[in-house]
Structure 1
């Protein structure tokens, strides 16, 4: 063809589109009928146009062609966990995340027959020990090993330091200097009910506490070697979640650059637990599929899917295999690894990304102006704000505005679950003395499910 196809069509401005829409509304108010406001305070328009941008949106540096399928394994028995990891790798996993409840684990045995040249391994330690790092002396492939260290995340989740503020920071400093990495968990904020602006702002303020500390103890050269990983929980608001991950990279780059740290960030994503249900549990697979899609398109580096029965069954081969296969289908049959930055240039997503980033930075600056993240955690301000957001979302669910199919819409009255419970699927009450109020994760469907279990 001598000329491009689209030259045969004249351009239509955003003003012309709006005029046509206004005509079709027959006098109804355009803003009232077609523009809605998300919980994050973002106004969503019925259409987006190139006219909204003075300059074309920037090309992002995400590498969606390189996202990895991760298998998460809780280590109760080293030998069994190693066999499970080797089996998962043989069946398509490209990364393994071990959750370690204690440091009484022989790492060399846990990593037996795992090729660290090709497989990344993440250790999420439920303890704090710089001496634990000595166990990795047996291998030279440390580039593919990441120690998930987040003392502030532990403080927010449990209400206590591992030891105390000073001792925890000294221990973490030793770990970071040995591994050149640390982690920021914002998944906990999402699972507790924080909205997306809060998640991003709290992640920034959370990370800023670390940057303030390490800015004083690391050289400029050392700062550039630090690799920061963000653990993110992804919800079912499809396009917003894509934008959330993109915005996270933007706001982190802004903050890290101000301190002279490496601006690249590593994103580890997993589906949220907040919208998962006990009844009609197969719908959880639909939810996790779209949530994993959002994570991929948003630029996550590694994704660990949540088994459909994770909230009420112990770890089991079937649930884990289905969860892994969902990711395998997305990668190898749906071709979600063929384009590096698939969300770039979509005006709606670009607009959401920009607005989320701006609102998150605004909230972050407010937190810093009022004492910083640790201060606001101690005063209970962060917990209060998350509770307010969670209550708002809970009301939406209770009134049927926010729908979980099979739970608050079209429930199956014949569905029985009382004899299926291997794990307690609700918030556990364990009264202990804490330094501050912990941030509690809670699912939306818990009250409804407890009532249904009582009635069985």
Structure 2
């Protein structure tokens, strides 16, 4: 045994770990980057390495295809806070947003009795975007039967945050052990301002009012988190990881300053702030972003002379959810939960998979809870403190996000802080650039959305929803206005990636659109392009009828797409196009790039060529137009 230990140590020191750990490895040369590059160049056959293998984030940060010890990437451990219960390494939180306080109460109890550790109450007196709560009595109805000292309660109330904090505090104080209740008041007026584009009064005064409320309740609730410094509003508007991190950091500093001004010590102020970020289906970037948040926090507290650890809450992205084929959202949410767990989030909240459609039914709510239970109790994702530590690719990505996020934070601070940066449009301009790149990538299907732009299912069966009329539960909202001129800014408008394709699907429902896919040759010739064309058209809600060219029944078809190989196109594409036009087909397209045949095919009646990398949304708009005859045709 001692000899084996020495052998392993020596292998590491010689930078050839394969040489002695396994006797088989001695037959192979030590791997080198030069040898790998030689194989890569051979495989690429002249294609540019930069374009084919080097990946860039939406903000232009490079991710290499290979990392080795030669890159000198340091390993950092950035774990979550230590949980008192090793079997429950993070706080499994569920969202409650049913407009009826009574129904919301039933959902709270159901979640807490079936695996949730805490609940997040989304409040909105109108009932449109949350529980219709406008008073302490309304909130009491929501929390009837809940032991607040045992089951942490989180709030999501926007500009209603101060009033909601007062209501929750009033309900919790009579509870035995309530001073130890780890409540999450989550006051976040900066995000509310950024989302709405306006505030009921000066937004700086709303921040000060939130800090004053925090001071009022701090002595009664020793472990309560008062402020939520979240970057999610940036993510949901289409922003990138660095922009989200920068906004989060700037909000945190804004809140710490306000808490100190309200009478908190510096350490207590830092300890009362929770960091909030979004997690989505891109789990590597999401988990690296969470790790970067801890690195940025360490730098902030180091500069301030504090040692308070970060507490990070990860909420699933709303922009990634789709209305069509929403069952795929289950996979997206699972990936988001994985990212939150591996990235070290202290609190993880996954939305029901039907959230883009309406109020969730029993199945969707159960899945939102049980997905985390499986990740926690069956996959044991919390058993390792920081699984990404030492993985060179993830360490490099974490470092890139941390540096870019810090730069974004500095730019906001240089503008005078997060409120001034919002009022000046600095944050919105940066987000708009990233959003434009993101939407362009979705339109071209460089970012594929399974079930939406890739492999759409025109026969998908929608899940059961809970039909609710929010107006039946609406309450008059409290007056939230503060004295002074109302603050305004350009709103960070929230978006969903699937929306443009979903709009096409809805329009197609009234067109009864079916395209004729005309095949040439054998299955080996046409299968690939038939699949491509059918997939693309279905993304716009257009069905496909596949027929061989020598037995086609055009029957006055509005749109036909010729599908085959380049060799078959040389032989018969132009002739087939002329035959289709003669048979009365209104519009003839061809799947593939025409190359040298373009002039001949265009002359034969081919109007459009379907190829990878084109703007799929623009193509589908043209396809819809083919099924919408104008007045002259009618």
Distance 2:468 2:242 in 1: 32
**CA-atom RMSD in angstroms:** 2.9
Quick check: 1:279–1:407 contact (8 Å CA) kept in 2? yes
SS where residue 303 of structure 1 aligns?
A: strand
Matches within 5 A, 1:62-211: 62-63=80-81, 65=86, 66-74=89-97, 76-101=99-124, 102-106=133-137, 107-126=139-158, 127=160, 128-129=162-163, 131-132=166-167, 133-139=169-175, 140-142=177-179, 143-165=181-203, 167-177=205-215, 178-179=217-218, 181-211=226-256
Q: TM-score, length-normalised on structure 1?
A: 0.89
Go from structure 1 to structure 2 and tell me whether the alpha carbon gap of 1:353 and 1:36 turns closer, same or farther (over 3 Å shift): same
Larger C-alpha radius of gyration, 1 or 2? 2
SS where residue 355 of structure 1 aligns?
A: helix
Matched, 1:409 2:444: no
Go from structure 1 to structure 2 and tell me whether the alpha carbon gap of 1:99 and 1:261 turns closer, same or farther (over 3 Å shift): farther
Structure 1 residue 416, shift from structure 2 partner: 7.2
Q: Higher RCO, 1 or 2 (CA under 8 Å, sep at least 6)? A: 1
Q: Which residue of 1 aligns with 2:38?
A: 23
Distance 1:20 1:63 in 2: 42
Distance 2:423 2:298 in 1: 27
Among 25, 36, 40, the alignment partner of 2:59 is: 40
Matched, 1:450 2:499: no
Quick check: 1:227–1:264 contact (8 Å CA) kept in 2? no
Matches within 5 A, 1:364-403: 364-403=409-448
Distance 1:346 1:59 in 2: 11
Q: 1:402-447 CA distances to partner (integer Å, 9 max, x unpaired)?
A: 00012111222334769989699xxxxxxxx982221111111112
Q: For structure 2, list consecutive stretches of 5 or more residues without a partner in the other structure.
A: 18-29, 125-132, 219-224, 470-485, 510-634
Q: 1:140-189 CA distances to partner (integer Å, 9 max, x unpaired)?
A: 42432110101111111112224433541342122221246211121121
SS where residue 96 of structure 1 aligns?
A: strand
Structure 1 residue 6, shift from structure 2 partner: 4.5
Quick check: 1:227–1:262 contact (8 Å CA) kept in 2? no
Q: For structure 1, list consecutive stretches of 5 or more residues without a partner in the other structure.
A: 425-432
Among 301, 323, 330, the alignment partner of 1:278 is: 323
Distance 1:103 1:259 in 2: 39
Q: Which residue of 2 aligns with 1:427?
A: none
Range with bigger deviation, 315-324 or 288-297: 315-324
Go from structure 1 to structure 2 and tell me whether the alpha carbon gap of 1:84 and 1:45 turns closer, same or farther (over 3 Å shift): same
Q: TM-score, length-normalised on structure 2?
A: 0.65
Range with bigger deviation, 371-380 or 281-290: 371-380
Quick check: 2:95–2:351 contact (8 Å CA) kept in 1? no
SS where residue 138 of structure 1 aligns?
A: coil
Quick check: 1:97–1:121 contact (8 Å CA) kept in 2? yes
Distance 2:323 2:396 in 1: 35
Structure 1 residue 123, shift from structure 2 partner: 1.8
Distance 1:91 1:62 in 2: 24
Distance 1:420 1:455 in 2: 23
Quick check: 1:307–1:323 contact (8 Å CA) kept in 2? yes
Distance 1:273 1:86 in 2: 25
Range with bigger deviation, 304-313 or 392-401: 304-313
Q: Which residue of 1 aligns with 2:308?
A: 263
Structure 1 residue 22, shift from structure 2 partner: 1.9
Matched, 1:11 2:15: yes
Go from structure 1 to structure 2 and tell me whether the alpha carbon gap of 1:214 and 1:89 turns closer, same or farther (over 3 Å shift): closer
Q: Which residue of 2 aligns with 1:428?
A: none
SS where residue 276 of structure 2 aligns?
A: strand
Go from structure 1 to structure 2 and tell me whether the alpha carbon gap of 1:122 and 1:287 turns closer, same or farther (over 3 Å shift): same
Structure 1 residue 275, shift from structure 2 partner: 1.9
Q: Which residue of 2 aligns with 1:430?
A: none
Quick check: 1:312–1:422 contact (8 Å CA) kept in 2? no
Go from structure 1 to structure 2 and tell me whether the alpha carbon gap of 1:135 and 1:454 turns closer, same or farther (over 3 Å shift): same
Distance 2:466 2:493 in 1: 21
Structure 1 residue 135, shift from structure 2 partner: 3.7
Range with bigger deviation, 329-338 or 148-157: 329-338
Go from structure 1 to structure 2 and tell me whether the alpha carbon gap of 1:135 and 1:349 turns closer, same or farther (over 3 Å shift): same
SS where residue 32 of structure 2 aligns?
A: helix
Structure 1 residue 206, shift from structure 2 partner: 2.2
Structure 1 residue 79, shift from structure 2 partner: 3.4
Structure 1 residue 356, shift from structure 2 partner: 0.7
Distance 2:261 2:463 in 1: 54
Go from structure 1 to structure 2 and tell me whether the alpha carbon gap of 1:417 and 1:391 turns closer, same or farther (over 3 Å shift): farther
Quick check: 1:224–1:261 contact (8 Å CA) kept in 2? no
